[in-house]
Amino acid sequence: LDMKLEINDNDSIISAVSGSNYIAILSELIAKKAEDARLIKILDVLEYSVIAKRDIFMIKLKDKKLRNLKKKFWEYLMK
């Protein structure tokens, strides 16, 4: 995969793709909403896990005390 640009804001990605001939990889939920709004066209990618696989990291501010619901979610993710 020869990546030319990385943008971390979904709205900016959709704007860049809808105004050009660029291709981007987005989550299905975000892409579907943009396609429903007729801003983009979703392309089927064969063997997508080969090109879209990447590590995901969960982060939080060091020593930050989380409220109850966030704490439970964090603990669930860390299992």
> pLDDT tens across 23-54, in order?
787 888 888 899 999 998 887 766 555 555 66
- pLDDT value at position 18? 87
Among candidate residues 1, 17, 15, the one with its CA nearest the CA of residue 54? 1
pTM: 0.52
43-59 b/e with 16+ CB inside 10 Å = b?
eeeeeeeeeeeeeeeee
Distance between CA 24 and CA 17 in Å, rounded?
A: 7
In this prediction, residue 67 has a pLDDT band, given cuts at 50, 70 and 90, of confident
Cβ pair 77, 58 in contact under 8 A? yes
Strands (E), the chain: none
Distance between CA 65 and CA 27 in Å, rounded?
A: 30
